[in-house]
Structure 1
Amino acid sequence: MPPLNRTMTPGEWTLLVVLSVLWGGSFFFTGVALRALPPLTLVVLRVGIAALILHLVVRAAGLAMPRDGRDWAAFLGMGLLNNVLPFCLIVWGQTRIPSGLAAILNATTPLFTVVVAHVLTTDERMTRNRLAGVLLGFCGVAVMVGPAVLAGAGTDGLGQVAILAAALSYACAGVYGRRFREMGVPPLVTACGQVTVSSLLLLPPALLIDRPWTLPMPGVPVWGAVLGLAVLSTALAYVLFFRLLASAGATNIVLVTFLIPVSAVLLGTLVLGESLDVRHALGMALIGCGLAAIDGRLPTALRARLRPAAHRS
């Protein structure tokens, strides 16, 4: 197995960008779907439809879902850490604080992951480049979202704690999910098992709280958004997520948190005709510098070029 505390390959960076587009697009789909569906019902439809699709894909690929209780216990842990807890915390937190502030707080996920992975693993240790890159990326997200949202930073402490707890849960999920690589479970099967367990866990509270059978039937645009969330932003996204997690490690996979706002802004500009502000460009530049620092190749090349110049002087 290749070491995880390493520079990602061009192919892995490409998959990370694709994953950021899939999850960045989820903001558009969610915005459309929430016009007619309550949050918990939408989450259940998202993971439930994704689970059905992935079961069909697993069978079509000639794979089989495991029958070992140990595998399903691991799926349960991953579903709790990566879906159930963060989804519920974020939905509740966003009812109390602005979405922009929530985005900034959610961008602490790589910071938490660097710390969690450093403490709990031996092959994803914290490095100067990685820490500097994560801090630059976080600043880039904060600049992109804009300083206006910080005016509400003191309005609701519990809402902010909920989003930070969700970010910590995502960080723990990234480290916890490494076990599937060691267990030999294919990424496609892991993605299917996670969303299956998440669907079963989230269905009862959605039925009790939202009572979806009492809701009016959503229109075609809403169902299209739900399918976009389920097929693209969940089923396909989680297959890529677990494939990257197995090859690139926890601290690399959560860098997608920095790229999601970039994808969301670019999609809004290209698809919805929204304006691209100076702060968006500056934020993207900071995020790019952060990712370059984490990748390590550019800083290493610059140091190598500067060293001979320093010797000549």
Structure 2
Amino acid sequence: MPQETAFMADPQPHLAVSLGLLLVLATLWGASYTFIKIAVETIPPITLIATRTLIAGSLILVVLHLRGLRLPLDRRNLGRFFVQACLNSVVPFVLVAWGTQFVDAGLATILNSLTPVFAFLINWGITRHEVVSTRKALGVAAGLVGICLVVGPSALQGASQQLTAQLAIIIAAMAYGAAVTFGRTFRDLDPMMPAAGSLLMGSVILMPVSLIGDRPWTLAPTAASLSALIALSVFSTALAFTLYFYLLKRIGTVGVTAQAYLRVPIGVGIGMVFLGELPQPTAWMGMALVVVSVIAMTLPSRKSRTATV
């Protein structure tokens, strides 16, 4: 009996710590859009992302080294890192960074949070290993209506730079959805390895483009942009990835998915507090539908919840 009592008393503090870390993770990822908004004011998008991936990938590589793990660099894994880099960092990171020049950080957070919807549509329509349920169908519908409410006012005004930027951020969410699907091929590796490998591969792809196109040595970034770049790389990428994989082991996939809908209001709130943004009424309605959509897409089935208890 004493052993059972001790066992029952122990999980509560651990659960509180995990929930606290989950909130930190949601905040780090929610803040990334504000960091990007500040950084891209004086740092071109490609140079910003090339530096972000290099710093973050290097830091995660250090964590792997401290854990006694080595990044596999054979041809097969380098090929997989290349594909994952394109889907999970090069394309979406650059599109979000470019789009955030013309769109509020809060709106970027809302539009880019629909990754679960696009992952579901890709898995259902292409790989065909996703089953359509009433809840997920409603989630897709809510997400698409949410997008229309957020983008709607710009679309009604015809083609504009703001509309193009919003569409770029939506395409980035589609790329993330494809990355989720392709990421299943890394089940044979420690989860932090594809994170480090794809980020470093992303920097290899983008750095030459930055050197040729942006000539970074001619830039004069402000202290605010440089600080935002460092915060984005260290906290919202390297630390966030490390927390994410730690929480995966601690509370499992079901628990970690909670950050997907926590980071939407957090990201919008950070933009309001630090950038003075004030979303339009249609954006608030769109955000509500997007949160409902993400919950519907990520909430585990009753069978899954029972299996994890």
Q: Does 1:154 align with 2:164?
A: no
227-236 or 134-143, larger mean C-alpha shift:
134-143
Q: Does 1:88 align with 2:94?
A: yes
Query: How far is the alpha carbon of 1:28 from its aligned partner?
Result: 1.6
CA contact 2:50–2:206 (8 Å) conserved in 1: yes
What one-letter code is carried by the residue in structure 2 that aligns with 1:215? L
* Distance in 2 (alpha carbons) for counterparts of 1:80 and 1:175: 13
Where does residue 265 of structure 1 map in the other structure? 268
What one-letter code is carried by the residue in structure 2 that aligns with 1:136? A
Q: TM-score, normalised by structure 2?
A: 0.72
CA contact 2:36–2:228 (8 Å) conserved in 1: yes
What is the CA deviation profile of residues 31-78 of structure 1, one whole-angstrom value per residue up to 9, with x for unaligned ones? 222232111111111111112211211111222111332222211110
Distance 1:16 1:125, change over 3 A: farther
Q: Does 1:135 align with 2:138?
A: no
Q: Does 1:207 align with 2:211?
A: yes
Where does residue 187 of structure 1 map in the other structure? 191
Secondary structure of 1:227 counterpart: helix
* Distance in 2 (alpha carbons) for counterparts of 1:254 and 1:173: 19
CA contact 2:45–2:98 (8 Å) conserved in 1: no
* Distance in 2 (alpha carbons) for counterparts of 1:203 and 1:277: 37
Structure 2: which 5+ runs fail to align?
Answer: 1-14, 303-309
CA contact 2:23–2:259 (8 Å) conserved in 1: no
* Distance in 1 (alpha carbons) for counterparts of 2:53 and 2:71: 17
Distance 1:10 1:284, change over 3 A: farther
* Distance in 1 (alpha carbons) for counterparts of 2:151 and 2:92: 24
Q: CA RMSD in A?
A: 3.9
Distance 1:255 1:287, change over 3 A: farther
Distance 1:276 1:150, change over 3 A: closer
CA contact 2:111–2:166 (8 Å) conserved in 1: yes
CA contact 2:81–2:194 (8 Å) conserved in 1: yes
Where does residue 35 of structure 2 map in the other structure? 29
Instruction: Count the aligned residue pairs.
Output: 282
Where does residue 241 of structure 2 map in the other structure? 238
What is the 5 A alignment of 1:287-298? 287-294=290-297, 295=299
What is the CA deviation profile of residues 223-253 of structure 1, one whole-angstrom value per residue up to 9, with x for unaligned ones? 221111001111123345567889649xx96
Pick the aligned partner of 1:124 from 117, 127, 130.
Answer: 130
CA contact 1:171–1:254 (8 Å) conserved in 2: no
* Distance in 1 (alpha carbons) for counterparts of 2:126 and 2:258: 16
Secondary structure of 2:43 counterpart: coil
Query: How far is the alpha carbon of 1:176 from its aligned partner?
Result: 0.1
Structure 1: which 5+ runs fail to align?
Answer: 1-8, 299-313
* Distance in 2 (alpha carbons) for counterparts of 1:219 and 1:101: 24
CA contact 1:92–1:159 (8 Å) conserved in 2: yes
What one-letter code is carried by the residue in structure 1 that aligns with 2:27? V
Secondary structure of 1:44 counterpart: helix
Query: How far is the alpha carbon of 1:201 from its aligned partner?
Result: 0.5
Secondary structure of 1:85 counterpart: helix
Query: How far is the alpha carbon of 1:186 from its aligned partner?
Result: 1.2
* Distance in 2 (alpha carbons) for counterparts of 1:187 and 1:29: 26
52-61 or 287-296, larger mean C-alpha shift:
287-296
Where does residue 68 of structure 1 map in the other structure? 74
What is the CA deviation profile of residues 89-123 of structure 1, one whole-angstrom value per residue up to 9, with x for unaligned ones? 4455667x755876666455433211211245565
CA contact 2:87–2:179 (8 Å) conserved in 1: yes
Distance 1:161 1:267, change over 3 A: closer
* Distance in 1 (alpha carbons) for counterparts of 2:40 and 2:89: 18
Distance 1:153 1:59, change over 3 A: farther
* Distance in 2 (alpha carbons) for counterparts of 1:284 and 1:164: 14
What one-letter code is carried by the residue in structure 2 that aligns with 1:88? V
* Distance in 2 (alpha carbons) for counterparts of 1:170 and 1:254: 17
42-51 or 25-34, larger mean C-alpha shift:
25-34
Where does residue 180 of structure 2 map in the other structure? 174
